[in-house]
Amino acid sequence: MNIKIGIASDHRGFNVKERLKEYFDEIDITIIDYGTNSSESVDFPIYAKKLGEAIQNNEIDFGIAICGTGIGMSIALNKMKGVYCAKVSNESEAILSRSHNDANVIAMSEEIDYDLMKKIVNCFITTPFSNINKYIVRNNKIKDMENNG
């Protein structure tokens, strides 16, 4: 698979982020780490912004954000133009976030079981957008809100 994935976390997500980086190396997918680089307490919006800017600048194809709940990262990322982050907890949500919503980032809780997290990530990066008209229309309405308030 010839894609680039960006990954970012806060201190609570640091350990699982490091494990996911090893997993991506094993399956030969390019991963770019946008921090944090330790389990020392940090403010998650700093790392959400770095990941979001990588999406905006087309440096990566998809992003993965991990914090205590996934909620904070998701909120921060969704403030950025062109970044569409889904907070997901299972494989079905990961699939639907891509096929219906064309999300380019997922946010997850560091509390998700690691084996399940790998499955979620695989579903996310391998599921294409459906290109079904009703989803295109809905996604365009979101983009209109983003552009026009």
Please give the positions annotated as active site.
67, 100
| Alpha-carbon gap, residue 84 to 86, rounded angstroms | 7
**Strands, E assignment, 68-115:** 85-87, 105-109
Cα Rg, the chain, nearest whole Å = 14
C-alpha distances (whole Å) from 7 to each of 10, 15, 66, 130 are 11, 12, 8, 24
| Alpha-carbon gap, residue 129 to 22, rounded angstroms | 27
Cβ atoms of 16 and 117 within 8 Å: the answer is yes
